[in-house]
Structure 1
Amino acid sequence: MLDSDLLAAAAAATGFMPADEGLALAEAVLAAPAGPILEVGSYLGKSTLYLAAAARPRGATVVTVDHHRGSEEHQPGWDYHDPGLVDPRVGLIDTLPGFRGTIAAAGAEDVVVAVVARAEQFARLWATPLAFLFLDGSHTDESAQRDLASWAPHLAAGGVLAIHDVFPDPADGGQAPYRIYRKALDSGDYTELTGRGSLRLLRREPSPRQER
């Protein structure tokens, strides 16, 4: 069962997660093993609330990591730049106040732990096997590959890797998420689950060593 109030808040929040994909994301969390849920790429908290809608009924916590300076596509001159998100004191994007407002307004502060850091730096400090990993950070090749390399080793056997904005056809969107999806799937370490839209879901299989 998903938290209906948090689902409604997620649907109303600002962000780039379509409602059907957000619902599929939440349902995938419900079906995942028990354990920590971690999101790479918080932006203003829309997808975080979909994760929280599944975490709350499970008594789980969503950890979400973002430097909150915006991805490349959020910078001045890019298609998704929002001047209202620029902190005039430093002249840089700052999505943290908006994120905190989204989470507080939804009443989800008891479910969500926000970490302000670069994902690869925080990954070096993380030691607990993850039950669910959602990659939705910067969509450049360098960043996407770095996120996969930093966080996939923390995913427990049986855990679920979710990747957003996967578009096999370049005409539909950028290819960096598609390339890390293919890299994960082609590694032989994952079995694909049923996703929705641009959301791909992969279950990590036990390694031969773990099976012995």
Structure 2
Amino acid sequence: MSRTEELLAAAAAAPGFMPADEGLALYAAARAVPVPGPLLEIGSWMGKSALYLAAAAHETGRQVVTVDHHRGSEEHQPGWEYHQPELVDAATGQLDTLPSFRATVHPAEDLVVAVVARSETLAPLWSTPLALLFLDGSHTEESARRDQDAWVAKLAVGGTLAVHDVFPDPADGGQAPFGVYTRVLASGDFTELPGTGSLRVLRRDR
């Protein structure tokens, strides 16, 4: 088994919310990016999508940067639908996904750089043009807009923007990622590429 196959198998087996077909579509989009630069994801959870990106990074000689505060999104907090009590740090009483993330990405530690921070804290310090930006952070309207405003402009011309959990029908899911997708497309700076499921893929043209 090649290393790419090993990373993709690890991604498929990892805990997380990304369906296999969308994960493979993300891998393919990252593998096909024609411009230089790193692959950066906003929102890592336990590292499943980072492994899909790492498989592409391995094949193309890139690095993956993941940005997450590892305290979980709103839906992961106590009393919410996706809360997992076993992820609560007894010392702080807060959710902490960093240990699980590290265990997941262990096979790709040479390819993945993890930044433990809020995306809006890191963004002003970041100057390297991105080859790919994957937006999959908190899905409230405020946080989704904040991630868009902070990071989309850092994508290189010719680079790829991927947005996860885009659901045109509110009955299927939250509307914040759909709002990001529609605003970016309406800017006239992007061309939509083929997507899969709730994953939308766009190329920056200018």
Report the TM-score when normalising by structure 2.
0.97
Give the structure 1 partner of residue 164 of structure 2.
Answer: 164
Of 38, 50, 53 in structure 2, the residue corresponding to residue 51 of structure 1 is 53
Q: Secondary structure at the match of 2:131?
A: strand
TM-superposed CA distance for 1:35, in Å, is 1.4
Deviates more, 1:85-94 or 1:31-40: 31-40
- Which secondary structure state, in structure 2, belongs to the residue aligned with residue 179 of structure 1? helix
> For residues 58 and 162 of structure 1, what CA distance do their matches in structure 2 show?
18
Matched, 1:203 2:191: no
1:35 aligned residue: 37
Name the residue aligned to 2:190. Answer: 190
Paired with 2:192 and 2:7, the residues of 1 have a C-alpha distance of 27
Deviations 1:41-94 (A, max 9, x none): 010000010000110111110000000010011000110100011001010000
Report what 1:137 is aligned to: 137
**2:89 equivalent in structure 1:** 87
Q: Secondary structure at the match of 1:161?
A: strand
Gaps of 5+ in 2: none
Q: Distance in 2 between matches of 1:8 and 1:130?
A: 26
> Which consecutive aligned stretches of 4+ in structure 1 deviate over 6 angstroms post-superposition?
none
Q: Distance in 2 between matches of 1:81 and 1:157?
A: 38
Corresponding residue SS for 1:3: helix
Q: When the two structures are aligned, how many residues end up with a matched partner?
A: 204
Structure 1: which amino acid aligns with 2:56?
A
Q: Which residue of 2 aligns with 1:174?
A: 174
2:22 is paired with a residue of what secondary structure?
Answer: helix
Q: Distance in 2 between matches of 1:2 and 1:59?
A: 13
**What is the CA distance between 1:108 and its match in structure 2?**
0.4
Report the Cα distance in structure 1 between the residues aligned to 2:86 and 2:154, rounded to whole angstroms: 35
Tell me the secondary structure at the aligned position of residue 183 of structure 2: helix
Q: Distance in 2 between matches of 1:12 and 1:30?
A: 21
Percent identity of the aligned residues?
68
Against the structure 1 CA distance between its residues 2 and 154, is the aligned structure 2 distance closer, same or farther, given a 3 Å change threshold? farther
- Contact 1:62–1:111 (CA under 8 A) maintained in structure 2: yes
Distance 2:5 2:24 in 1: 11
> How far did residue 2 of structure 1 move?
8.2
Give the C-alpha shift of residue 159 in structure 1.
0.4
Rounded to whole Å, the distance in 2 between the matches of 1:3 and 1:116 is 26
Determine the C-alpha separation between the residues in 2 that align with 1:73 and 1:187. 30
